Structure 1
Amino acid sequence: MKSLKFLLTGIFFGIVLVKSEAVSWYRIYEMFQFQSFHMYGIIGSAVVVGIIGVWLIKRSKLNSIEGQPIVLPPKDRSIARYLIGGTIFGLGWALAGACPGPMYILVGTGVLSMLLVIAGAILGTFFYGLIKDRLPH
């Protein structure tokens, strides 16, 4: 029963992304071609909401749903790491036409070719798990 609220939240979030056209390949293409502000507005809004949310969590010293204090450890400030990771993520996003969350939403809307993209993402995650101990972190 606890998972039901998360399932309903996910369904609602999926509907919002479909209705806002955030899962539209054409909108993503427009973004990467710098032809439209639409996706930048959505992403920028999400970043602002995330910043405010983290600030409120830190300021209010909120607890998780299990009652444990939420601890946000400091991040490694390696610029090269984020540039390389962001570039790989962006290239995958541009090639697939979707980032990880909308891939599942697109399958739900009937774009079954996204199953190949999901399989590739799972395979890539598995491969990373095999070699992560040999990579510089």
Structure 2
Amino acid sequence: MRTVIYLGVGILFGIVLFKSEAASWFRIYEMFQFGSFHMYGIIGSAVVIGSVFIQFAKKGKVTSFSGNKINMIPKERGFYRYLLGGIIFGLGWALAGACPGPLFVLAGAGYVPIVIVIIASILGTFLYGLLRDKLPH
């Protein structure tokens, strides 16, 4: 039953992403050109909602779907590693015209070339997993 719930939430999320035009290459291009507030509003809303959720989870007021307590593990500090990661993420976003969230939404909407980006994302994640221990901290 949980799988059906997860599938339903995923489909609903995909519909919202597509209908809000968060998966639109034009909207992303417009954002990077500082031509419209549209995407900044969507991202800002997600940051606010996510921050509120994280605070509730840290206080133990939110549990997972299975009823388990959600544990927040503090991340390592390191300005430059996050700066470099953000630059790489942003370049990938700009090149693909989509952040990782709506990739499957775009594939589901019939944008077949996005499959190349999905495959490259999976291969990049796999490569990072292989090289993770060898990278500088």
Q: Which residue of 2 aligns with 1:91?
A: 91
Q: Find the residue that maps to 2:66 and give its secondary structure.
A: coil
| Structure 2 gap segments, 5+ residues each | none
Structure 1 contact 22–28 (Cα < 8 Å) conserved: yes
1:116 maps to amino acid: I
Structure 2 contact 60–69 (Cα < 8 Å) conserved: no
Q: Find the residue that maps to 2:41 and give its secondary structure.
A: helix
Offset of 1:68 from its aligned partner? Answer: 2.7
Structure-2 separation of matches of 1:70 and 1:8: 22
Structure-1 separation of matches of 2:63 and 2:12: 24
Question: Superposition pairs for residues 1-137 of structure 1, below 5 Å?
Answer: 1-137=1-137
| Structure 1 gap segments, 5+ residues each | none
Offset of 1:122 from its aligned partner? Answer: 1.1
Structure 1 contact 107–114 (Cα < 8 Å) conserved: yes
Q: Find the residue that maps to 2:59 and give its secondary structure.
A: helix
How much is the aligned-residue C-alpha RMSD, in angstroms?
1.2
Highest relative contact order (Cα 8 Å, sep 6+), 1 or 2?
2
Tell me the matched-pair count: 137
